[in-house]
Amino acid sequence: MYVNEELECVVCCYGYSRSHRVPRVLHCNHTFCGPCLEKLSKLDGVLRKVSCPMCRWITCTRATLTISGSLWVNTDIWDHIAEERNGSSSSEEEEDLNDMGFTSSTPRDPRKPGFVSTVQRMFSCVPQH
């Protein structure tokens, strides 16, 4: 079982995701999210260098490649993210809808217990008959 800290990037403190904050492994075996590694990287001629925020080990890749194109995904964390998503409702999707001003207190679809469609959440302000 992973501790929450292991499922978060220690630089930005956001949880890893399978879309935007993909966990990438540096050559020193420390893991950080792709966006943070992009910000930490520096171009040096034909090399792109990233100094690890934990141990200062320098990881070098070709400058023609992006960080996401040159560093491996931490599959242990990736698999745990997938298991977590399958076992719960899509919390990121709910957070996005809440940020847009929609509440998550919508009626459930009677055909599928525990299922609330995206359309129902988006139109939760419209009374349903």
Structural domains of the chain ordered from first start: 1-88 (3.30.40.10), 89-129 (no CATH)
Q: What is the mean pLDDT of the chain?
A: 75
Strands 31-33, 47-51: pairing is unpaired
Give the number of C-alpha atoms closer than 13 A to the C-alpha of residue 90, restricted to the C-beta side: 12
pLDDT exceeding 70 applies to what percent of the chain? 59
Residues 22-37 have pLDDT tens digits of 999 999 999 999 999 9
What pLDDT is recorded for position 68? 87
Using one digit for the tens of pLDDT, what is the confidence trace for 47-99?
A: 999 999 999 999 999 999 998 899 999 999 999 886 655 554 444 544 444 44
Average pLDDT over residues 121-126: 48
Is 108 in contact with 114 (CB distance < 8 Å)? Answer: yes
pLDDT at 84: 59
Threshold 0.75, pTM exceeds: no
- Tokens at residue 89, please? 């409702």
Q: Encode burial over 78-115: b for 16+ CB neighbours within 10 A, e otherwise.
A: eebbeeeeeeeeeeeebeebeeeebeeebeeeeeeeee
Question: CA-to-CA distance for 22 and 37, rounded, in angstroms?
Answer: 10
Work out the end-to-end distance of the chain between its first and last CA atoms, rounded to an integer number of angstroms. Answer: 44
